[in-house]
Amino acid sequence: MRISILGTNYKNSIFAGCLSFRGHTVIDVSAPGKNRDPLDHDYLTLEPGLRFLLDQGRKAGLLSSTSDLLSAVRETDLTFIDEVDSEKPGCMERLWCQLGEALRCKSAPHRLVIRTNRSPEVALADILPLLESSSGKRHGDGFDVEVRLDFPGQSIAALA
């Protein structure tokens, strides 16, 4: 499977390393101007074997990095978004609109998996109108969204 992961952080680097190790093609997407290389972070020393996983993914041509969200979405079937660690107010709204614009350019269906600390119903009520208006597509017709609730010690999934 071809997967894009938005945001280079500790959890996403582990996720990208494991997915590429299992043979999936993974594109790590960082904001423009941010460090785009998951191999160049201090947290690599915290997780034994993480550098090895990421190195192997790179060497096999299964793991790459970019700041070009449009091309990453266009080249993948599934995108993971980590809403929990969003830093600035309004940045997620801009991201949903940018994702919608990327979906507009795709003819193949695309699935978005969103990890959030908000109620899945509330998150979907905020996210879907932005995605639909910016993509020109309807949820369920061109793209699907799954919301994963992320609270410490809890994991709940909601399919929309």
- Comparing 11 with 64, which gets the higher pLDDT? 64
Rounded to an integer, the average pLDDT of 74-87 is 84
- Whole-number pLDDT of residue 13: 84
Confidence of residue 88 (pLDDT cuts 50, 70, 90): low
What's the confidence (pLDDT) of residue 156? 46
* Per-residue model confidence (pLDDT) at position 139: 95
What pLDDT score does 60 carry? 96
Looking at CATH, the fold of the domain delimited by 83-160 is given as Rossmann fold (3.40.50)
Secondary structure (DSSP) of 96-115: HHHHHHHHHT-SS-EEEEEE
- The answer, yes or no, to whether residue 147 has pLDDT greater than 50, is yes
Question: How do strand 110-116 and strand 78-82 relate by DSSP bridges?
Answer: parallel
Size (the chain), residues: 160
Q: Report the percent of the chain where pLDDT is more than 90.
A: 56
Residue keyed to tokens 């597509």: 137
Supply the mean pLDDT for the chain: 84
Domain boundaries, the chain: 1-68, 83-160
CA pair distance 31, 52, nearest whole angstrom: 25
Enumerate residues 6+ apart whose C-beta is below 8 A from 115: 80, 81, 82, 83, 84, 148, 150
26-42 confidence digits (pLDDT tens): 999 987 665 555 555 55
